[in-house]
Amino acid sequence: MTISTDKGSVAGATADGVDRFLGIPYAAPPVGTRRWQPPAPASAWSSPRSATAYGSRCPQSPTSTGPGMSEDCLYLNVYTPERRTNRPLPVLFWIHGGGFSSGAGDLYDGSQIAKASNVVVVTINYRLGVFGFLDVPGLSRQGAGNYGLLDQEAALRWTQRNIGAFGGDAGRVTIAGESAGGHSVCALLSSPPARDLFAGAIIQSGGCPSLTVAQATAEGDAYAAAAGCSVPATSVSCLRAKSANELRAADSGFIGGILTGPLPVSGVPELPLAPSVAVRSGRIHNVPLLIGSTRDEVRQWALPFANATKGQYERAVRLEFGAQANAVLAHYPYSAYDSPYTATYAIGTLWGDSSVFYGLGGCQYQNLTAQFATRQPKTYFYEFDDPHPPTLATTPAGFDSGAPHASELGYLWPMETSKSLTPEQQQLSMAMVRYWGAFVKHANPTTGGLAAWPSYRSGKYMSLLPGDDSQALKSEVYADRHQCSFWNSISYDWLTTNPDRLAAQAGVPTS
């Protein structure tokens, strides 16, 4: 099947009832003088372009098999139901996660959602790590620190111009993402240039963190020094002269850990306000929103405490919470958690409930949802509560991961973990695909044959469980589960020390 776009025609392929158009360029290759510049328009082509293979992934540390890496990576993929009516279909625009340092659109096969929900699905690549989020003074006149975010907006503009040719409705585009993709959605909600590019939003296990320009340039200067470009007068030219491999070889400090990696930069034209401030003040694009997290978001991230004693656990809590530590320990006593891995379960639970990882999950996440719902009546909240979803993470024998970060993805997208779903989990998977599809189509996840999903304004959220056990529960149930009366009564900051370093500071021995 051949479709005409504004730059030329693309020839896709059909499989299992879905038309697939892969590796379509939505911007010019950000190479040579275009490295560390806002995305430029792609060049036109005259002959039909083959769209049956994914484009290269953006430079990153290798995480899985797939297309090779290249700076020439600004490609997207379109999935459409083979059989369509003459009426344009709503569009799900997916932004991958990976800490703004890894991931790619090809990891998310949109065929299942497109076919089951009768929607068009778009997945994208965007620049990552130092290529997408480096901020060094003089690097470019516009976009420094936010090239990856500008890539996302360029892909949305491509969608606005072209999705009609694929059977999609440019007026009904829902942006969605998980983890860093969820952070991106919040940033796009707060970005003036993104206004009118979408009509709905889905945030999965993502929040609204950002860096100030001062923070971003400090990290950029530190990276430049690590890359051998420490002289301010020549750092930009020095960085530009390096190969992609040389830049990647120096990025371990820039990528950092769970809490010290790249983030969008606020205080600039594409993001004037920090997204968290924009949400609180109502200065966001007010569109219907589906938002939620997994039940045990950060438990696996607490594994550096696997060998911690009671004293070391309590020392870590005191290092993190200072004057509030006694109260925290009273609510999360070491003795309340199973062994082995007692300290991991304890600190993972309190981290999750307190939302100290960028406001993700737990009580601050519920408060964030309430802030959205104050202005947007079509705000829907969920918690993915499957107690034993399959994951790819390697964990110690006997460790119970619960429902960790990203464990819901295999229920929505065909992935390696999808192959391990039990019949009851398969039932949940299809229910989630239908809920998500209903939201994309109607700005309301409720759909026939499944438990009704009320808006958060009604005082309820959806607990997603295997089989047919998913149900709407009162928001007080969520608050009780995460001890929100306590967390909302004290003052504390997000965690800024990565788990392995905090464990070392507390004297926990490594495995």
The residues pairing with 18 across neighbouring beta strands, listed in sequence order, are: 15, 81
Count the domains in the chain: 2
> How far, in Å, CA of 129 to CA of 467, rounded?
39
Is position 28 within any domain? yes
Same domain, 318 and 446: yes
Q: Does residue 511 have a pLDDT over 70?
A: no
Sign of CA dihedral 200, 206, 211, 212: positive
Please tell me the distance from the alpha carbon of residue 241 to that of residue 145, in angstroms, as a whole number.
Answer: 19
On whether both 221 and 77 belong to a single domain, the answer is: yes
Domain for residue 510, yes or no? no
Strand (E) or helix (H) holding 228: none
Regarding whether 327 and 200 lie in a shared domain, the answer is no
Same domain, 182 and 321: no
User: Within this chain, do residues 211 and 315 fall inside the same structural domain, yes or no?
Assistant: no
pLDDT (average), residues 105-115: 97
Question: Does residue 193 sit in the same domain as residue 136?
Answer: yes
One domain for residues 333 and 382: yes
Separation of alpha carbons 457 and 443, rounded Å: 15
pLDDT score recorded for residue 66: 67
CATH number of the structural domain spanning residue 254: 3.40.50.1820
**Dihedral Cα 182, 187, 189, 192, nearest 10 deg:** -160
Which residues are annotated as catalytic? 179, 297, 405
**What is the spatial distance between Cα 284 and Cα 289, in angstroms, rounded to a whole number?**
12
Instruction: Tell me, yes or no, whether 369 and 494 share the same domain.
Output: yes
- The answer on 283 and 297 residing in a single domain is no
Task: Provide, rounded to the nearest whole percent, the portion of the chain with pLDDT above 70.
Answer: 99
Reported as a single tens digit per residue, the pLDDT across 268-314 is 999 999 999 999 999 999 999 999 999 999 999 999 999 999 999 99
Mean pLDDT within 97-109: 97
Verify that 373 and 495 share a domain, yes or no: yes
Q: Per-residue confidence at 505, pLDDT binned at 50, 70, 90?
A: very high
Residue 128 lies in a domain: yes
* Domain termination site, one of 287, 322, 357: 287
Radius of gyration of the chain (CA): 22
CB contact at 8 A, 9 and 170: no
Burial label for 85, CB within 10 Å (0-12, 13-18, 19+), is exposed
Domain contains 511: no
Whether residue 321 contacts residue 487, with contact meaning beta carbons closer than 8 Å, is answered with: no
Given 230, 256, 287, the domain boundary residue is: 287
**pLDDT per residue over 173-225, tens digit each?**
999 999 999 999 999 999 999 999 999 999 999 999 999 999 999 999 999 99
Whether the link from the prior residue into 423 is cis, omega within 30° of 0, is no
User: Residue 483: its pLDDT value, please?
Assistant: 98
Is residue 70 classed exposed, middle or buried when 0-12, 13-18 and 19+ CB atoms within 10 A define those classes? middle
As a whole number of angstroms, the distance between CA 136 and CA 216 comes to 8
DSSP string of 401-426, one letter each residue: --S-TTTTHHHHS--GGGGG--HHHH
In a domain, 480, yes or no: yes
Domain limits at 53? 2-287
Q: Domain end: 239, 256, 287, which one?
A: 287
Could you write out the DSSP letters of every residue in 298-361?
Answer: TTGGGGGGTT--HHHHHHHHHHHHGGGHHHHHHHS-GGGS-SSSHHHHHHHHHHHHHTTTTT-S
Query: Considering the entire predicted model, what is its pTM?
Result: 0.98
227 and 300 in a single domain? The answer is no
pLDDT at 316: 98
How much is the pLDDT for 61? 77
172 in the same domain as 298: no
Q: How far apart are CA 4 and CA 14, in angstroms?
A: 17
